[in-house]
Amino acid sequence: MLLTVLLLDENPRLQWRKVATEYFQETGDWTVYSLFPCIILKEGDYFDKDQEIGNGRYTLSQEASWNGKFSTLPVIGGTLPHYAENAGLFISQMEDKSGYPFPEIETGVSSVALIELRDESFRILRSRRLRKDRES
C-alpha cells in the first residue's frame, strides 16, 4: 500500500515516539511500531501534487479515530493539501477502543513523503522538504 504523508519536525517526532512507546506499554498494541509518527494525508501516490501546508503547524484531536485502515489522531487545525482525506497522525493499525488519553502536542511538519507500507514494515520511496508560508 502506498501512502502520502507529512513528516514531522524533529521535536514533535521525538515527543510522539515517546507517546507511542507509552501507548504500547499500556495497551500492548505492537502495530504502533509498524510506521513512524507522521500525518497520513491519503492512501495512494500524491507526492507530485501541490502540497500546501500553510505555516506547517497542526492541531490534532486527543481522541483516536478509526479511518478504516488505521487509528489516527485527526487533524483539527492547520492547512492541508486539497487532496487530503481523513488526515491524521498515525497511531496504530488496530482499531482503537481503549479511550487512551493522548496528550496535546504542538505538531509541526516540513516535508512530504511517499511511503510503501507492507504488513509489518515500511520504506520511504521519496521525500522532499516543503515551503512554509511566512505568516503565522
Q: What is the structure's pLDDT at 97?
A: 67
The band of 67, judged by pLDDT with boundaries at 50, 70 and 90, is confident
The mean predicted confidence, pLDDT, of the chain is 91
- CA dihedral over 58, 59, 62, 65, signed as positive or negative: negative
Residue 72: pLDDT above 90?
A: yes
CA gap 121, 113 in Å, rounded: 16
CA-to-CA dists, residue 62 to 59, 72, 73, 105, angstroms:
9, 10, 6, 9
Q: What's the predicted TM-score (pTM) here?
A: 0.92
For 42-63, the pLDDT digits (tens) are 999 999 998 999 999 999 999 9
Residue 136: pLDDT above 50?
A: no
Q: What is the structure's pLDDT at 129?
A: 94
Query: Mean pLDDT over residues 65-70, rounded?
Result: 90
For 6-15, the pLDDT digits (tens) are 999 999 999 9
Q: Rounded to 5 degrees, what are φ and ψ at 38?
A: -160, 160
Q: Rounded to 5 degrees, what are φ and ψ at 26?
A: -80, -40
